Amino acid sequence: MVLDKNKRGGKMMKIARLIVLGTVAFGINVAAVTAAFAHGGDKSLVHACINRFSKLVRIVGPNDSCGHIEIRRHWNIKGREGPQGPQGPQGIQGPPGPAASGGLIVKDSLGQVVGRWNYDYLMLRQVGADLLNFYIDTNGFRRAYVTLYYATPDCTGPRYMYSFRSFGEFYETVLTSDGQTGYFASVDVQELAMRSYQQFVTGQPVSASGNCLPTFFTEKMGLVSTIDLLSLGTPPFKLE
């Protein structure tokens, strides 16, 4: 009987040791699986764990781990660059550049002084109380688009233009579409809400009816003033 008890006791101790070893081995395997699903701490990515069976996705931290029934996934925080969008509307004309050195004078075909050469197609001239800047070339006053703005939605009422004086310039720039009448913003600049505009292309007189287009912005604007360009000189022009 004593021998039988000893045998049974020895078997029980072997079984206990096997259970302990099995538990340790299971713990090692679980740790290995858990470590395999670690995310590595990369904060520049979005990290997630996806359940293999339910497919549920849970977002985790960069240093978190997924469970043994989960699949780790990660994505870039910043997505792919999309296609280029359509071109926006034409912006306002920038302020003129610095004046050129020297004392060049612009004269017309009759030898009369038209103004003082400023810089790259630009000419300064005092007209009444206004110091004005003109775009010119040998053919006379250069033609360009002229855009007039309105505070009403149907292009009625007072006409306004962007004022270059709002950029700190000493002079206002004159624009013309037909080379005969110049348009510029008055000295009294106000911050106003514009609701419609008309644009006259090169060669089209502003007196002609133009398409009324909607707009919506608030900016420093000046009432439109006009000047008879033909009274300033007779093309062609030259520098002296």
How does pLDDT run across 140-173, given as a tens digit for each residue?
A: 999 988 999 999 999 999 999 988 776 777 889 9
**pLDDT value at position 94?**
53
**pLDDT value at position 96?**
47
How far apart CA 197 and CA 200 sit, in angstroms, is 10
**pLDDT value at position 149?**
94
Residue 138 one-letter amino acid: T
**pLDDT value at position 92?**
64
**pLDDT value at position 33?**
42
9-40, pLDDT tens digit by residue?
Answer: 555 555 545 444 444 444 444 444 444 444 56
C-alpha distance from residue 159 to each of 60, 150, 172, 186, 225 (Å): 60, 5, 16, 11, 9
**pLDDT value at position 196?**
93
Closest Cα partner for 185 from 213, 220, 154? 220
**Residue 166 buriedness (CB in 10 A; 0-12 / 13-18 / 19+):** middle
**pLDDT value at position 19?**
47
| Whole-prediction pTM | 0.56
Low-confidence ranges of the chain (pLDDT < 50): 1-3, 16, 18-38, 96-101
How far apart CA 143 and CA 175 sit, in angstroms, is 7
